[in-house]
Amino acid sequence: MIWEALKSLFKKPLTVQYLTKPDEKVPVPERYRGKISYNRDACIGCLLCIRTCPAGAITADERKVSFSLDRCIFCGQCSETCPRKAIEITSKFEIVVYTKSEIASQ
């Protein structure tokens, strides 16, 4: 253990210097389930997503749907259920907000 520790002293640290060095981040993989984006024009108002959303984050709204993203649990089920692919998963993951309503705009 002592050797291991002393060796590590002279190795490069494993740390990704997020926030302390500009543009350094752990890479986000392609399939990452981040914030959802909704294409209102593509939506046909079948309301299937409301039936399958486990968190009750989707509500009906004038024959289409609207999202309350503070409830979203990022499972991606809505985009899988949607027959027209009107809901897409983006790779955005840094959702840090001061009030709940800002989540949608971030």
Partner 1 sequence: MIALEILLATLPLVFLLSLLFEGIDRKVHARMQRRIGPPIIQPFYDFIKLLVKENIVPTTAARSIFNASPSLAAASSIVGAAIPLANLIARTGIIGDLILVMYLLTMSSIMIVVGGSSSGNPYGAVGFSRKIMMLIGYEIPLLISVVSISIKAGPSLIYYDIILAQIKSDKCLACAYISSATAALTFLLCISAAVGVVPFDIPEAKTEVIHGPLIEYSGPQLALLKLAKSSTIFSLSLLAFTLFFYFPTIYELSIVLGEIATLGACLLGSLMVMLLTVTLPRTVFARLKIGQAFKTYWFFPLPMAITSLMLSVLGW
Partner 2 sequence: MWKIASRSRIKSPWIFHLNTGSCNGCDIEIVAALTPRYDAERLGCVLVGSPRHADVLILTGPLTSQMMPRVVRVYEQIPEPKAVVAVGSCAISGAPFLGSYSIEGPLDRIIPVDVYVAGCPPRPEAIIRGIVTAVKRKFG
Partner 3 sequence: MVNEREVKYDEFARFILPVGPVHPALKEPFHLKIIVKREEVLDVELRLGHVHRGIEFLAENRNLIQAIYLTERICGICSHSHTTCFIQALEEVGGLKPPERALYLRTLIFELERAHSHLLLLGIMAYQIGFDTLFMYTWAAREKVLDLFEEITGNRIHHAMNVIGGVRWDLTPKMAEKTIRVMKDIEVTTRRIYDFFRGETVEKRLSGVGLLSQHDAHELCVVGPTARASGLVFDVRKDDPYAAYGDLNDSFSVISKKEGDSYARTEVRILELFELINIVQAALDRLPNGPINLGESPVRLMRRIPRGEAISRVEAPRGELIYFVKTNGGDGLERLKIRTPTLANIISLKKMLIGCEIADVPVIVTSIDPCLSCANRITLVDHETGEVKVVNADELRRKKS
Residues that bind partner 2 (CB under 8 A): 13-20, 25-26, 35, 54-57, 68-75, 93-100, 103
In the chain the first and final C-alpha atoms are separated, in Å, by: 46
In this chain, which of 9, 19, 26, 96 binds partner 1, going by CB under 8 A? 9
Indicate whether 13 belongs to the interface with partner 1 (CB under 8 A).
yes
The three-point CA angle 41-101-80 to 5° equals 45
Q: Which is nearer to partner 1, 7 or 63 (CB)?
A: 7
* Residue 49 main-chain phi, psi, to 5 deg: -65, -35
The answer to whether 9 contacts partner 3 (rule: CB under 8 A) is no
**Cβ proximity of 87 and 39 under 8 Å:** yes
In the complex with partner 1, which residue's Cβ is closer, 19 or 30?
A: 19
Q: Interface with partner 1 includes 15 (CB under 8 A)?
A: yes
The answer to whether 13 touches 20, Cβ cutoff 8 Å, is no
Does 4 bind partner 3 (CB under 8 A)? Our answer is: yes
Give ∠ CA 80-83-89 in degrees, rounded to 5: 40
Residue ranges in contact with partner 3 by CB under 8 A = 1, 4-5, 14, 29-33, 48, 51-55, 73-77, 80-81, 83, 89
